[in-house]
């Protein structure tokens, strides 16, 4: 359909000069504007449904190789531009860059789409030729004025939360909370924040807040009632190559179900106390067999360990059993038995830590735990007595 254009693009040589680059990027922006508008129209005509896709976003992901964030930005821009002829014309001509259009779309809330349509002929000329920072400032001012007119509620009454997946598989959390919700979230995070124990790597306050939020969420998941066991593990699907699992190949092919690569230490941690399904594949995508889920540590055995350990066995840690994993001291992948003599409770944080290179753990015949740090220092802990007070017999540094 675009043979002529394609030929030109393929033959194109872009000199490394300021003028050529300015022009080339402007052309990219112009083409982006056209593709966004057509995508929004395809969306409005239910085109993706006709192709068997659940949504336009999933269609874009599948057929163009975009990630969620990019697909969302393009589709949102395309949809908004349908309501804004002046902004659309400036995008098409390259007077507004694709990034500027994204800033405009991000700053115009759903309830103010009409407002921008009323104001765009005055605003767009002040934005053309500017950069993204200037556009953001101008749009923030516009939005403050419009918010004041349309919605006399102060912005502190708004509540929203966004959790987006970044291209490297990490997540970004953003949001606005009203005073009451913010106070509840803040109190919970402060209550769940834990100081660094002796032998742990030092964490910044922001790192400790992030860890605390993860623990709060894991605790909520773990507290959900389930008919099989009082302890509901967060479910995670990991695709691991058999040769990696048995140690005859290097990791690199293993990944979470969404394709994010997973490290060796994380594989060992996930498999330590998980529900494992056997999936036999042929080639890259044909599933030949999907086995029933088998718990690495069955609920009855887990209860025995919980009765003995009561809480995380990292010396000084008192996170209670419902928030702990049963760690295989000698991993079952390498022949370690799933028995009380080889299992000990560790909270999420300490379970992650113990699987990192340099950390070692031993379970002694008297159920004492000996942890060797990367520095060579050892720490010990003993389980609380089975009768009487529940306080753990946490030991200090060992010999």
Binding site for Zn ion (CB under 5 A): 272, 312, 314, 317, 319, 327, 347, 350
Least spacing, CB of residue 212 vs Zn ion, in Å: 13
Identify the CA nearest to 339 among candidates 383, 296, 301: 301
Closest to Zn ion by CB, 122 vs 391, is: 391
Q: Where are the beta strands (DSSP E) in the chain?
A: 160-165, 171-176, 238-239, 255-256, 275-276, 279-282, 286-290, 294-295, 324-328, 343-347, 360-363, 369-372, 378-382, 393-397
- Residues 6 or more apart whose Cβ sits within 8 Å of residue 371: 199, 314, 315, 354, 359, 360, 361, 362, 378, 379, 380, 381
Contact (Cβ atoms closer than 8 angstroms) between residue 61 and residue 67: yes
**Percent helix, strand and coil across the chain, each to the nearest 5:** 50, 15, 35
List 160's β-bridge partners, or say none.
176
Least spacing, CB of residue 205 vs Zn ion, in Å: 19
Closest to Zn ion by CB, 77 vs 347, is: 347
Closest to Zn ion by CB, 100 vs 269, is: 269
Closest to Zn ion by CB, 105 vs 317, is: 317
Closest to Zn ion by CB, 127 vs 272, is: 272
Least spacing, CB of residue 333 vs Zn ion, in Å: 11
Closest to Zn ion by CB, 306 vs 317, is: 317
Helix orientation angle between 56-64 and 68-81, rounded to the nearest 10 degrees: 120
Least spacing, CB of residue 349 vs Zn ion, in Å: 6
C-alpha distances out from residue 181 to 159, 164, 275, 296, Å = 8, 21, 35, 38
Length of the chain: 399
Q: Tokens standing for 130? A: 């500017």
Least spacing, CB of residue 381 vs Zn ion, in Å: 10
Least spacing, CB of residue 313 vs Zn ion, in Å: 8
Map residue 328 onto helix, strand or coil. strand
Least spacing, CB of residue 329 vs Zn ion, in Å: 8
Give 197-211 as a DSSP string: PTTSPP--HHHHHHH
Closest to Zn ion by CB, 92 vs 327, is: 327
């Amino acid at each position: 359909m675009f043979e002529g254009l394609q030929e030109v693009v393929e033959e194109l040589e872009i000199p490394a000069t300021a003028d050529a680059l300015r022009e080339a990027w402007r052309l990219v922006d112009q083409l982006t504007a056209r593709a966004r508008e057509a995508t929004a129209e395809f969306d409005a005509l239910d085109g993706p449904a006709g192709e068997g896709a659940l949504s336009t976003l999933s269609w874009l992901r599948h057929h163009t190789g975009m990630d969620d964030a990019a697909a969302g930005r393009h589709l949102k821009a395309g949809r908004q531009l349908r309501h804004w002829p002046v902004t659309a014309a400036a995008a098409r001509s390259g007077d507004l860059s694709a990034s500027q259009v994204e800033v405009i779309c991000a700053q115009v809330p759903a309830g103010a789409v009409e407002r921008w349509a009323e104001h765009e002929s005055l605003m767009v000329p002040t934005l053309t030729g500017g950069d993204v920072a200037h556009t953001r400032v101008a749009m923030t001012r516009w939005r403050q004025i419009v918010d004041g007119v349309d919605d006399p509620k102060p912005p502190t009454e708004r509540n929203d939360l966004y959790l987006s997946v970044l291209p490297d598989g990490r997540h970004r959390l953003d949001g606005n909370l009203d005073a009451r919700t913010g106070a509840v979230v803040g109190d919970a995070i402060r209550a769940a924040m834990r100081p660094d124990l002796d032998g742990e790597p030092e964490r910044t306050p922001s790192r400790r807040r992030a860890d605390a939020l993860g623990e709060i969420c894991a605790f909520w998941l773990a507290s959900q009632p389930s008919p099989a066991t009082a302890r509901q593990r967060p479910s995670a699907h990991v695709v691991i190559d058999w040769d990696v699992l048995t140690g005859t190949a290097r990791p690199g092919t293993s990944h979470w179900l969404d394709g994010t690569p997973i490290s060796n230490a994380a594989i060992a941690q996930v498999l330590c106390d998980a529900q494992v399904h056997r999936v036999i594949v042929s080639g890259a995508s044909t599933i030949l067999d999907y086995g029933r889920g088998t718990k690495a540590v069955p609920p009855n055995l887990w209860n025995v360990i919980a009765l003995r350990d009561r809480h995380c066995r990292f010396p000084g840690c008192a996170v209670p059993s419902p928030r702990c994993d049963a760690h295989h001291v000698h991993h079952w992948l390498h022949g370690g038995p799933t028995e009380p003599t080889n299992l000990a409770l560790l909270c999420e944080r300490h379970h992650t830590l113990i699987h990192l290179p340099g950390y070692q753990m031993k379970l002694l015949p008297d159920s004492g735990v000996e942890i060797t740090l990367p520095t060579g220092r050892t720490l010990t802990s003993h389980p609380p007595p089975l009768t009487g007070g529940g306080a753990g017999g946490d030991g200090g540094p060992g010999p």
